[in-house]
Amino acid sequence: MTNIECAREQDVLDMLAARRWPGRCEAELEAHIRACAICGDLTAAAAALLDEHESAWSEARVPASGVVWWRAQVRAREEAARAAARPIAFVQGVAASCAVWVAISLLRAFPLQAGPNWRGWATGLVGKLPDFSAAAASVPGGLPFLIVVGASLVLAPVVLFIGLREALREE
């Protein structure tokens, strides 16, 4: 059966920690290390890692404790604020769904024939709209260009509103 321990492992570790390897190690312990596979592996691995640890320690650069504490506090508060906003968004979603459901229910409860003639009203409205065909013919892009301009005019305030709201929230 493979033995995975040696009684002298601690002696070897103490010797390495005292920086006595390889030049200032006791002859008897050195002879043991050369003969014992376990202590041989231990010496090769631990000596290299101890050297590396020394180098790494000198190059370590850590921020001040106050900075880490402050960053953690800020982040925790931000996360808490986000967590608090989550139920509000959920409630808003539920309210919107309820509103749509109520609207549909009302429409079903009152058939279109019972209410005002919406179709006729809409058709009349379209008839009153100005004729854009002349204007469309006079611009280089034609009707598609006019549609894009119109959509931009409608959407620009919405985009502006959303952008400003995000900016204000970040402040």
Partner 1 sequence: MRDITLSDVERLRSEAADTDAVFEMDEETFRAFYDRTARPLWVYLSRITGSGDLADDLLQESYYRFLRADAQHQGEAHRRNSLFRIATNLARDGRRRGRRAHLVALPGGADGSAELPASVDVAGDAQRRTDLTRAMARLKPREREMLWLAYAQGLTHVDIAGALGVKAASVRLLLFRARHKLATLLGGGAPSGRGDR
Q: CA-CA distance, 168 to 124, in Å (whole number)?
A: 43
Per CB under 8 A, the list member of 7, 23, 55, 88 interacting with partner 1 is 55
The angle subtended at Cα 64 by Cα 58 and Cα 68, nearest 5°, is 120
| 50 lies in the site for partner 1, by CB under 8 A | yes
Is the preceding omega at residue 144 within 30 degrees of 0, hence cis?
no
SS3 36: coil
> Which of these segments, 62-70, 86-94, 141-149, 157-165, binds partner 1 (CB under 8 A)?
62-70
> Could you say whether residue 53 binds partner 1 (CB under 8 A)?
yes
Under a CB-based contact definition with an 8 Å cutoff, are residues 40 and 34 in contact? Answer: yes
Contact between 82 and partner 1 per CB under 8 A? no
Question: Is there binding between residue 94 and partner 1 (CB under 8 A)?
Answer: no
Q: Least distance (Å) from partner 1 to the CB of residue 12?
A: 11
Residues in contact with partner 1, shown as a per-residue x/- string from 28 to 47 under the rule CB under 8 A: --------xxx-xxxxxxx-
Task: Please give the angle made by the CA atoms of 137, 138 and 140, to the nearest 5 degrees.
Answer: 90
58: contact with partner 1 by CB under 8 A: yes
CA distances from 158 to 71, 96, 136, 148, 155 (A): 35, 19, 26, 15, 5
Any contact of residue 26 with partner 1 (CB under 8 A)?
no
Nearer to partner 1, 62 or 134 (CB): 62
Number of residues that bind partner 1 (CB under 8 A): 43
User: For partner 1, which stretch binds (CB under 8 A), given 69-77, 96-104, 133-141, 152-160?
Assistant: 69-77
Tokens found for residue 142: 């034609």
Q: Which helix (H) or strand (E) holds 38?
A: helix 37-59
User: Is 68 among the residues that bind partner 1 (CB under 8 A)?
Assistant: yes
Give the nearest distance from C-beta 1 to partner 1 in angstroms: 8
C-alpha of 30 from chain center: 55
